[in-house]
Amino acid sequence: MSKLQDYTYKNKSIEVRTRTIEDYKIFLEAYNSLAPSQRKYDKGFEDMTFATKDWFEAKVKLWDSLAARDVAYLFGIFRLSDGKMVGYCDLATQYREDYQIGMVGYAVFNPYWENGYAKEAVETMIHIGFNLLGYHRLEAHINLDNEISKKVVLSSGFKFEGIREKYIRENDVWTDHEVYILINPKDSKS
């Protein structure tokens, strides 16, 4: 069991928490309510008929095992007003030892865009990453043309560090990513 197994953090309009098997219906409802893709980095609606309760339970166990091994911490983003799942976010440990680097990821489902949920989720990941997981540095890796995501991290305090060439394989092509970083304020004095 990880230290974030049953973690819940409430922000202004969202709750970020680990997902449990009890979230199966909320999960399905969220994915089934997606509109078709609205822009390049939006997956949009996809057929979820394969997502049985057993499949979801196996996913939850996988997510829990990743957290228990300090590989990744995966959370759902839930709207406080009605409990709907509006997206997901995560922290992935890149390096520990003398580095203490984590990577932030997030996605808000297209019916819920332009409500500030992505920024709130990133702010929550900053809090968890620095205060609960002890990362020294957080990174966000963003496609060069994903202006919306860049605005989210910049408005959350990240700064542009540079470009990692041929960093990730996407659609069978090695792709460059911009790297945005944030240093734990507790460490900036040393």
What residue spans define the domains of the chain? Answer: 8-183
Please give the distance of CA 121 from its chain centroid, rounded to a whole number: 7
Q: How far apart are the first and last CA of the chain?
A: 33
Write out pLDDT tens, residues 132-189.
Answer: 999 999 999 999 999 999 999 999 999 999 999 999 999 999 999 999 999 999 987 6
Tell me what pLDDT residue 7 has: 75
Cβ proximity of 116 and 80 under 8 Å? no
Report pLDDT digits (tens) over 88-142: 999 999 999 999 999 999 999 999 999 999 999 999 999 999 999 999 999 999 9
CATH homologous superfamily for the domain 8-183: Gcn5-related N-acetyltransferase (GNAT) (3.40.630.30)
Check pLDDT > 50 for residue 1. Answer: no
Summarize pLDDT for 9-62 with one digit per residue, the tens: 888 999 999 999 999 999 999 999 999 999 999 989 989 999 999 999 999 999
Q: Specify the residue for token string 């219906």.
A: 25
